[in-house]
Amino acid sequence: MRVSAIIPTWQEEARIGGAVAAAREIADEVVVSDGGSTDRTAAIARAHGAVVLREARGRGQQLAAGAARASGDVFLFLHADTVLPSEARRALERALQDPRVSGGNFFLRFEPRDAPVGRVFTWLYDLRCRALRIYYGDSPLFVRSAVYWRLGGFPPQPLFEDYAFIRRLERSGGTVYLRDVEAVTSARRYENRVLRTLGTWVILQTLYSLGASPTRLARWYADAR
C-alpha cells in the first residue's frame, strides 16, 4: 500500500520543513501544492524531500492539483500546521485492511493542551467528529485514491472545499475515526477570540448548508477576520 501525503501551502516557511519531515515518516511521497508563496516555502519543502507544485492560490484547487500529481493508493491530506506521529502509518494501514473502509480522519489535539483555548477546541472537535461525523481538513484526512476519484475530488471553491468532499465521503459509507492516534495543531491563532471564532464558523456552516455561495461566504469571512 503506497501512501501519498498532500500538503497545500501559502507562506509557510516557518512550518513547512517540520511538516514535510513528519509527513515523510508516514508517507511514501510528499506532494506540496503551493499557492504562489513569495517566501521560502517551496525551497524549504524541496530541501526536505517533497515534490513541489506551483498552483494558483486557493486551497481547493491546490488540493486537487496535489492529488492529480500523487501516485499513491491512499491520499493523506494534511495542513502545514498539523502534524501526525509516525505511528499514524500503522493505524492507517490497519484501518484499510478492511476493504469496506474507504477512508477517515484522526483525532485532533489543539495546542497548547493545558490552555483553555486548546482544551475547548480539542473537546468540541472530538465531540463533533463522534456525534455528527463533521470534520475539516485540519484533522488529517485519508482516502483510497480510487474512492477519491470516484467521488470527484475536492471542488475548486474558496471555502468549505474540504467539508464538501468530506460530506460526499461520509455519505458513501465506510469511514473510520481513528481516536487512538493524535494529530497536533495550534490553537494560538484563536486564543483571544474563541467565542467569535466558534460563532463565525457556526454561522458560515449553517449558511453553506442552506445553499449559500461559498464565494460570497469566503468574502464575508475575509472581512470578519
Residue 13 clears pLDDT 90, i.e. is over it: yes
Residue 190 clears pLDDT 80, i.e. is over it: no
Residue 200 falls within a domain, yes or no? yes
Residue 124 falls within a domain, yes or no? no
Give the model's pLDDT for residue 225. Answer: 59
pLDDT 10s digits, 85-140 = 999 999 999 999 999 999 999 999 998 888 888 888 899 999 999 998 888 888 99
Residue 222 clears pLDDT 80, i.e. is over it: no
42 and 151 share one domain: yes
Give the model's pLDDT for residue 224. Answer: 60
Q: How many CA atoms lie within 13 A of 14 on its CB side?
A: 2
**109 - beta bridge partners?**
184
Residue 119 falls within a domain, yes or no? no
Name the most confidently modeled range: 10-14, 171-175, 190-194, 201-205: 10-14
* CA atoms of 140 and 184, how far apart (whole Å): 10
Sheet order of strands, 3-9 included: 51-54, 29-34, 3-9, 74-77, 141-144, 103-111, 175-186
Instruction: Print the domain residue range for 210.
Output: 193-225
Residue 168 falls within a domain, yes or no? yes
208 and 146 share one domain: no
Give the model's pLDDT for residue 189. Answer: 66
163 and 182 share one domain: yes
Under the banding of pLDDT at 50, 70 and 90, the label for residue 14 is very high
pLDDT 10s digits, 50-91 = 999 999 998 999 999 999 999 999 999 999 999 999 999 999
171 and 202 share one domain: no
Range 136-162 average pLDDT: 94
Residue 112 falls within a domain, yes or no? no
Give the model's pLDDT for residue 191. Answer: 64
Question: Which CATH number characterizes residue 102's domain?
Answer: 3.90.550.10
218 and 145 share one domain: no
89 and 11 share one domain: yes
Residue 55 falls within a domain, yes or no? yes
7 and 60 share one domain: yes
145 and 217 share one domain: no
Residue 127 falls within a domain, yes or no? no
92 and 172 share one domain: yes
pLDDT 10s digits, 159-180 = 999 999 999 999 998 999 999 9
Helix (H) or strand (E) holding 129: helix 116-132
Please give the tally of structural domains in the chain. Answer: 2
* CA atoms of 116 and 122, how far apart (whole Å): 10
90 and 167 share one domain: yes
65 and 86 share one domain: yes
